[in-house]
């Protein structure tokens, strides 16, 4: 019998155990590092990390095509505010103010917020036409009159069909009231007189502002029907752009979606 082989066996066993322990510690440390630092495929938190607002799915299948009376600019400070407010109001009526454009819930007048009953099981499809009829300074801010026309806009109900509204062209007052100091110009008439530029994107989905247009502006925003004589002007505008695309009250085919104008 080889005594040297017998005496070497305990040493080889101890060496093997040290190797296994070292490998185990190394693997454990590696697992700890990976679990803390993450990996390219699964370490990042799920969801959009850019912080940019994404429109709710209930309105992604629609767009808004804006127009305005001569001399009114859709892309200056007040024109942008009016557009953002009106679009926020539309979104809020489906998913609530908190899910509308960033900052809108914080500036929406409580009386206006109280009339909202969200319809989260309905999805917009098609093109909403909106027209900025007037922007009028007031002692506390300004009022904007907006006309909307829904002949090419439908709602997809839970039955899967697209339902068109039979409501006439709608006019509303969007009232901006200064309630606190502003980060902007203190309520003076805007001096931005740049010309509007047409949006060139071919994307036919809802477009949203990239930034919060409401927080810190000092505005309170209320919505109401116009008691004055703008209804006839809105109806005249609505007739001028009516396409007759919606020939039925319900259909299995969604209406066409035009690119948003001017977009964001």
pLDDT in tens, 190-208: 444 445 555 545 678 999 9
pLDDT higher for 123 or 7? 123
Domain residue ranges in the chain: 60-251
User: How open is the CA angle 196-109-224, to the nearest 5 degrees?
Assistant: 70
Assign 183 a pLDDT band (cuts: 50, 70, 90).
low
Assign 15 a pLDDT band (cuts: 50, 70, 90).
very low
CA pair distance 80, 73, nearest whole angstrom: 9
Contact status, residue 252 vs residue 161, Cβ threshold 8 Å: yes
- Partners of residue 125 on adjacent β-strands: 61, 154
Q: What are phi and psi of 61, to 5 degrees?
A: -85, 15
Signed CA dihedral, 210, 100, 90, 214: sign only:
negative
Cβ-Cβ contacts under 8 Å for 244 (sequence gap 6 or more)? 151
Q: What mean pLDDT is reported for the chain?
A: 78
Cβ-Cβ contacts under 8 Å for 206 (sequence gap 6 or more)? 55, 59, 60, 61, 62, 63, 64, 260
Q: pTM of this prediction?
A: 0.75
- Please report the pLDDT score of residue 41 as a whole number: 34
- Calculate mean pLDDT across residues 170-180: 92
Residue 238 has pLDDT above 70, yes or no: yes
Say which residue the tokens 């949203």 belong to: 208
Say which residue the tokens 């005249």 belong to: 236
Q: What are phi and psi of 128, to 5 degrees?
A: -95, 130
- Partners of residue 141 on adjacent β-strands: 138, 177
Residue 40 has pLDDT above 50, yes or no: no
How is residue 154 written in tokens? 């439908």
- Please report the pLDDT score of residue 234 as a whole number: 86
Residue 10 has pLDDT above 60, yes or no: no
Residue 82 has pLDDT above 80, yes or no: yes
Lowest mean pLDDT among 43-52, 56-65, 87-96: 43-52
How is residue 20 written in tokens? 């296994």
Residue 103 has pLDDT above 80, yes or no: yes
Residue 98 has pLDDT above 90, yes or no: yes
Signed CA dihedral, 49, 53, 54, 58: sign only:
positive
């Amino acid at each position: 019998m080889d005594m040297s082989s017998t005496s070497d066996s305990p040493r080889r066993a101890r060496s093997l155990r040290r190797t296994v322990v070292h490998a185990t510690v190394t693997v454990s440390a590696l697992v700890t590092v990976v679990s803390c630092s993450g990996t390219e495929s699964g370490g990042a938190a799920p969801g959009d990390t850019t912080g940019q607002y994404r429109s709710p799915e209930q309105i992604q299948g629609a767009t808004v095509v804006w127009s305005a009376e001569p001399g009114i600019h859709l892309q200056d400070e007040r024109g942008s505010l009016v557009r953002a407010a009106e679009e926020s109001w539309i979104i809020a009526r489906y998913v609530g103010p908190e899910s509308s454009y960033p900052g809108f819930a914080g500036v929406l007048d409580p009386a206006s917020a109280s009339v909202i009953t969200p319809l989260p099981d309905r999805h917009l499809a098609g093109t909403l036409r909106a027209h900025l009829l007037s922007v009028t300074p007031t002692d506390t801010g300004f009022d904007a009159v907006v006309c909307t026309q829904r002949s090419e806009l439908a709602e997809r109900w839970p039955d899967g069909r697209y339902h068109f509204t039979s409501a006439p062209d709608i006019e509303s007052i969007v009232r901006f009231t200064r309630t606190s100091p502003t980060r902007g110009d203190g309520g003076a008439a805007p001096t931005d007189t740049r010309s509007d530029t047409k949006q060139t994107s071919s994307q036919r989905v809802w477009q949203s502002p990239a930034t919060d247009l409401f927080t810190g502006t000092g505005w309170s925003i209320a919505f109401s029907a116009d008691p004055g004589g703008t209804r006839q002007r809105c109806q005249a505008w609505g007739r001028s752009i009516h396409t007759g695309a919606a020939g039925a009250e319900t259909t299995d085919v969604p209406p066409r979606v035009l690119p948003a104008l001017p977009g964001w």
